[in-house]
Structure 1
Amino acid sequence: MKNILYVFLLISQVFFAQSSFEKGNALYQNGKYQEAIDVYENIIKEDKQQSAELYFNLGNSYYKLNKAAPSIYNYEKALLLKPEDAAFLNNLKFAKKLTIDEIKEVPKVGFAKLIQNFTGIFDYNTWAKISVGIAFAFLLSFIGYYFSTLTLSKRIYFIGMFILLVALTLSVSAGMSEKSHFDNDRPAIVFSELSEVRSEPQKAGNAIILLHEGAKVYVMETVGSWKKIELTDGTEGWLDASTIKEIKNF
């Protein structure tokens, strides 16, 4: 009886969240963007619902109100749940045009760039699926090798096993690299209209650069109420923690 009650409550919660989501969509379609935002935010806060579409629509609503930081923030959260989505990336590009800062990205060079380009082809979940597929193919090759009676067939299966083993090692390593990168990567969006990046984690520190609303930074460490951040151009400094919101706060 208790299990049935839990299932009923779960179904009711999902149905309520869905109806609220549709309500928010209807408000958005009618141009009531702030009201749509209130509905979407309430779904996240009260129902603990997380979906790429929810964050995407929330980002769209903020974008319609020309609010750079929250629109970029929610587009980035949507991309965490559904990487490489064309619509998400396109709208994020438009939202970034609302920002003031133009921070150049310094690309990696040499061997590190080659490794990153290879591992970055897929996210770590896709690499895991690829590894499972290769492992299954390796098992089939081993079975073929074990039961084959012809010398030529055994050689072909053996070579195939060797190639698949190398491919499995590469895919597992790439997946682990991407997982490590994902876990250590701490992107954040500046929400304050104007923030000073300082040389030390205190207000007495020298101002290195000024950042405006919507700028993207990467958090490296936290000291009290300050966060050490890095920009895509390599600039490092300290920001008041209250001026930014980390994207990975699910």
Structure 2
Amino acid sequence: MERVFKAVMLGGAGSGKTSLRNYFLYNSHTGQYTPTTNSDFVSTYVTLDDEEMVAVQIWDTSESKPDLPTTQSLLQDADGVMLFYDGGSKVSLHALERHLLTIAAACRTRRHKLPIILVQTKCDLEIDDEQRAECERAKELCQSRLELDDIQCIETSARTGFGVALAFQTIAELCRSQWRGAMTSDEDERLPKVRHSRHGDPIAYGAFELETSTGAKTRTRHGTAARRLKRKLCRLFCFA
């Protein structure tokens, strides 16, 4: 059974998380801003530099209803985090600090290091010298808060597609490297359960609402009868 890596996207409202994921999956950009109201994931394959294809659940998160327990519940079994910010928005840059505190709290309860990359969005737009300095400060802030020697910062644009594939390839590669390292160090211990693939076409979509209490339970929201049937068939053949 294949390993499916869970990559969680975090960032302030309007930072471009959903647009970047949509461009990566569908090679399209609408230019319309629709706030994400509930956390959801899309399962797909990412081709790495060595031509290996790895399965990844790419989780988008809601900033319209920011909730610390919800975010922490997503990070508990995450294999990697993509931290988004809009280099031209001070609000987006300031939102980084809150997310860094959440990530730092989650890392303290984990046995293994959580791979993290910084993703600067909307790089097709011009930014002034002050905003450019803010972007550099954002990288330094991430390194200090998370006690990292260095963190990869990838510039992207969902409008032109610049850097989009690189961002998702990078986090997938870091997830795979971390997992292989954990297998080597814990070969005599029980590893975390394999996250079953939910691949449909091969992209499968799942929308979730997470309870805000500690030990949050996840409730799957089904749409039409056809979707429910499709999910049952997916579970039957993918053992999900």
Q: TM-score, normalised by structure 2?
A: 0.25
The one of the two structures with greater contact order (alpha-carbon pairs below 8 A, sep at least 6) is 2
Larger CA Rg, structure 1 vs 2 = 1
Q: Which has the higher strand share?
A: 2
